[in-house]
Structure 1
Amino acid sequence: MSSEPDVKITSEPLHGEHPVVLMGFPGNGLVGSIALQYLVEQLDFDLIGNITSKYFPPVAMMANGVINVPVRIYEKGDIVAIVADIPIHPMICYEVANGIMDWIAPYQPREVIAIAGIVTNEPEKRVFGVATHGEMLERIQEHTVVLPMGSISGIAGSVLTECKIRDIPGFGFLGETVNTPDPRSSAATLAVLNTLYGFDVDIDPLLEQAADIEATMHKLAEEVQRTEPVQKKEYLPMYG
């Protein structure tokens, strides 16, 4: 009798060849979640699947009376976006990242991009970048601040580690944030994606609606802060 998988993915087959896969999970500033949800709405991505796990919090998301699966898979052309509304506890990041990569690897993704936040308490809203291979940095160094050393925590770090192990090209884009719902940091990250992938997403409405988004996402940010460990300052910085 087979046991229940750590991560259960129910999805239509991907239509694009060698897709670019974007991932955004709640974390510092909710940067990844806000950015990718806005992206899929603005560009009319198709909802093609969902991800569940026995390790996820026992919660069902709801909007306007309609239940929404907390982790969703969207697709448009050769772009896939995995968007989450729930935080992933550090104890299960490996299982979740490994399960997602097991599903996506047979499609031979061209690139995997993990979008997250980095707390600096500075106002610039810079976007920091990392890559799984040194030669990939040339592509992003004019558009991001390349991190010199340290570590990336949480699900973004686990995804990038899986990319490195599996020899799948991966980027991490970390929006500078103050660890409250931060649409402005998400907009800065989207501006980088616009440049690198030609999305042409209008970020002005996101900036104009920043106050409303900050209010509606506040409860989710509190949940993230309860489930993620406090990061202590070390000699090597930790990001994520």
Structure 2
Amino acid sequence: MARISVLDDDVSLSEPTLVEGFPGVGLVGKIATDHLIDAHEMTHYANVHCDGLPPVAVYRESDAAATTPVRLYADPENDLVALRSDVPVKPGAATEVAACLGSWFDEVDLFPVFLSGLAREKDESPPDLYGIATGDGGEALARAEVTDPPESGLVSGPTGAMLAAALEAGRDAVGLVVESDPQFPDPEAARRLILDGIDPIAGVDTSTDGLVDQATEIREAKQQLAEQMRQANEDSSRAEPLKMFQ
């Protein structure tokens, strides 16, 4: 089974930007997309049913409705879609999930923005942000003034699989790579992703005050998922330096 089950047919999208938020290093993608959904009061638009996703049901506090662990949220006014994931994707399933989502990307004519953390120990300087692209995605990076990577590297996990699928299909897409805390959830890195990557690429304006003011609460709320990711770090979407003879 591989399908996207749309819940709200009244949502109208025209060549939207999609922001992907699978858990990874520092949980930066998940923190960023969760914040976008809340800040823009995005509508629960669709449930994702893809082979390879864990066969589990998710429920929320004070809400009896069960839903899928991976969902899509939409903001028609800003032509924005966010992929929210409450679970990691196993390495062997990443290709299946990427193919499932990629076919829907083409159907809806989405421009995907993939998010990944690059493990770096924290210091006083702001985390660096870099961009990579497939197809004509480099044009979006240039408009947003996102810099090129300073070193060779690779992106793994479900995010890497989706970038690989976009490359193979010739699909326009970008990947944003931000330096992130390798041990703990990193709201500061997620804020950099939003302000200097997602917002200028998608043409939106997102208040990030909550990411700064509530950084401690966010870290505590995400800590359990971060621990799960560390125990099985091969599940993570992550960027890492490419060690090779050059």
Deviation per residue, 1:11-40 (Å, 9 max, x gap): 145621222221110011111111011101
Q: What residue is the counterpart of 2:86 in the other structure?
A: 85
Q: Secondary structure at the match of 2:46?
A: strand
Q: CA deviation at 1:62?
A: 3.5
- Number of residues of Structure 1 aligned to a counterpart in Structure 2: 231
Q: CA deviation at 1:148?
A: 4.4
Question: Which residues of structure 2 form unaligned runs of 5+?
Answer: none
Which residue, 5, 9, 17 being the options, matches 1:10? 5
Deviation per residue, 1:61-103 (Å, 9 max, x gap): 3332434532111111222211111111111110001001112
**Preserved CA contact (<8 Å) 2:121 2:181:** yes
Q: What residue is the counterpart of 2:44 in the other structure?
A: 47
- For 1:226 and 1:79, the matched residues in 2 are separated by 33
The answer to whether residue 72 in structure 2 is matched with residue 73 in structure 1 is yes
Which residue, 8, 15, 23 being the options, matches 1:26? 23
Q: Secondary structure at the match of 1:217?
A: helix
- For 1:98 and 1:29, the matched residues in 2 are separated by 25
1:1-240 equivalences under 5 Å are 5=1, 7-12=2-7, 15-53=12-50, 55-66=52-63, 67-77=66-76, 78-109=79-110, 111-123=111-123, 124-133=126-135, 136=138, 139=142, 142-179=145-182, 180-192=184-196, 193-229=198-234, 235-236=243-244
Q: Counterpart amino acid of 2:14?
A: E
Q: CA deviation at 1:228?
A: 2.7
Residue range with higher mean Cα deviation, 15-24 or 50-59: 50-59
**Preserved CA contact (<8 Å) 1:56 1:88:** yes
Q: Secondary structure at the match of 1:34?
A: helix
TM-score by length of 2: 0.83
**Preserved CA contact (<8 Å) 2:118 2:179:** yes
Q: Counterpart amino acid of 2:138?
A: M
**Preserved CA contact (<8 Å) 1:10 1:51:** yes
Q: Counterpart amino acid of 1:34?
A: I
Deviation per residue, 1:103-158 (Å, 9 max, x gap): 2212222x211112111224331212111147716616733453542211111111
Q: Counterpart amino acid of 1:119?
A: A
Percent identical across equivalent pairs?
25
Q: Counterpart amino acid of 1:184?
A: E
Q: Counterpart amino acid of 1:183?
A: P
Deviation per residue, 1:41-60 (Å, 9 max, x gap): 11111111111345333543
Q: Secondary structure at the match of 1:146?
A: coil
Q: Secondary structure at the match of 1:211?
A: helix
Q: Secondary structure at the match of 2:59?
A: strand
**Preserved CA contact (<8 Å) 2:115 2:177:** yes
CA-based RMSD: 2.6
CA 1:54/1:161 → structure 2, altered by over 3 Å: closer, same or farther?
closer
